């Protein structure tokens, strides 16, 4: 594994966003979501799910280090540079949780 890997987190909901913020404390992370409104809100430092505080989000979004920061995007081509991919998208279930 690369010494300073870039990690892509695909899906920035209640699982993906906290994971992205935690990894961004030590690694470069590209958070990807298909919801442009969600991406814009997160880039402004606002998380409507309240899983991550404004302060926590601000720290990793505004970090100037190349090795530990969070970039949030809805552009799939931006995750091509990642060496590790973690998918955290919703898994639909039926009324029997299957």
Q: Give dist(CA 64, CA 50) in Å, integer.
A: 24
Residues 8-22 have pLDDT tens digits of 999 999 999 999 999
pLDDT at 52 over 70: yes
**Mind listing the pLDDT tens digit for each residue in 84-96?**
999 998 887 888 8
Domain boundaries, the chain: 6-87
- The band of 5, judged by pLDDT with boundaries at 50, 70 and 90, is very high
DSSP per residue, 18-54? HHHHHHHTTSEEEEE-S-HHHHHHHHTT--TT-SS-H
CATH 3.40.50.720 fits 6-87, yes or no: yes
The helix or strand, by DSSP H or E, that contains position 6, with its residue range, turns out to be: strand 6-10
Residue 62 has pLDDT above 90, yes or no: no
């Amino acid at each position: 594994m690369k010494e300073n890997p870039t990690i892509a987190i695909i899906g920035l909901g209640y699982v993906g966003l906290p994971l992205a913020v935690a990894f961004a404390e030590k690694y470069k992370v590209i958070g990807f979501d298909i919801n442009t409104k969600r991406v814009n809100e997160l880039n402004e430092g606002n998380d409507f799910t309240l899983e991550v505080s404004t302060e926590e989000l601000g720290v990793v979004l505004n970090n100037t280090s190349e090795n530990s920061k969070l970039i949030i995007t809805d552009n799939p081509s931006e995750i091509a540079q990642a060496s590790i991919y973690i998918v955290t998208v919703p898994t639909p279930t039926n009324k029997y949780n299957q």
